[in-house]
Structure 1
Amino acid sequence: MTVTALEEKLMDKRVAPTAMRLLVLDFLLQQETAVSLADLEKNMAHSDRVTLYRTLKTFEEKGLAHRIEDGTGTVKYALCDKSCDAGRHHDLHVHFYCSCCRETFCLPRSGIPAVKLPPGFREEEISLTVKGICAKCTQG
């Protein structure tokens, strides 16, 4: 993706296109699986952890990326669908955690089923993670 296209993608979500944000967005666009802050750090050798964390938080707040808690104790991030807005993620989909390669995948075609809550209960967050072995690991 060109720098101009990356800048437009950030500006569409009202995110100022700084050099670091462009690098992080480009990196996330190249990933097939969700990434942790540590993964990002390994691939951005000349960046500090705080800046990377703040970039991910900004992306999350602006509806550009969503966080995934897959049960491993490490938060991972993946880019959102175009329908996400600042502070409201509309791409509620299932995630898959491979217990073999330890990668987490977004399954955007598998929506999270509606949950009817009892009276007086208020939803704040919803997630669904399926755990098993991914296609790559079952073939290997």
Structure 2
Amino acid sequence: MNNEIENKLRDKNTKPTSMRILVYDFLASQHIALSLSEMEAHFYPADRITLYRTLKTFEEKGIVHSIQENNTSKYILCHDDCNEETHKDWHLHFYCKICKHTTCRTDINFSAPNNNSVRIDEVRLFAKGICENCMNETMQ
């Protein structure tokens, strides 16, 4: 597994340090976006600054994208076609008001405009509501 992660990091021009491998592996196991504090709790007693720098490097290299939510950044792995130039983040980020989870909704996506007069590098689409799991629980 580590070799696969090391190759993915190298493909993104990122040196595969121990911490970067651990963070990538952890994020790959998550289906929700996580804040620095949530990740810090998992990596305790790791240094908060090292974790923050790892996430910022990952964001710059197109490995993770950040979702701004109530003055907090949350992080989730990007798709493989993101890179240092652009994050191909053409989907909705959804925050559930009940379970408090933020997820990428790839079933609700938007296509990049076919317009050569502008270049859009990033779009941030965010919605709040109630997710399917919480809706099902409230209906029972």
Q: TM-score, normalised by structure 2?
A: 0.86
Provide the rounded CA distance (Å) in 1 between the counterparts of 2:89 and 2:121: 15
Corresponding residue of 2:99? 101
Number of equivalences = 134
Question: Structure 1 16/29 Cα, relative in aligned 2: closer, same or farther at 3 Å?
Answer: same
Question: Structure 1 94/65 Cα, relative in aligned 2: closer, same or farther at 3 Å?
Answer: same
The reply on whether 1:129 has 2:126 as its aligned counterpart is: yes
Question: Structure 1 11/102 Cα, relative in aligned 2: closer, same or farther at 3 Å?
Answer: same
Per-residue deviation at 1:87? 3.6
Aligned residue runs from structure 1 range 65-104, under 5 A: 65-70=64-69, 72-104=70-102
Provide the rounded CA distance (Å) in 1 between the counterparts of 2:3 and 2:112: 39
Per-residue deviation at 1:122? 9.0
Of 86-95 and 55-64, the range deviating more from structure 2: 86-95
| Preserved CA contact (<8 Å) 1:112 1:127 | no
Per-residue deviation at 1:126? 2.8
How many percent identity over aligned positions?
46
Structure 2: 5+ residue stretches without partners:
none
C-alpha distance after superposition, 1:13-38 (max 9, x if no partner): 01100000000000100001001000
Aligned-pair Cα RMSD in Å: 2.0
| Preserved CA contact (<8 Å) 2:87 2:122 | no
Provide the rounded CA distance (Å) in 2 between the counterparts of 1:64 and 1:19: 16
Provide the rounded CA distance (Å) in 1 between the counterparts of 2:9 and 2:77: 12
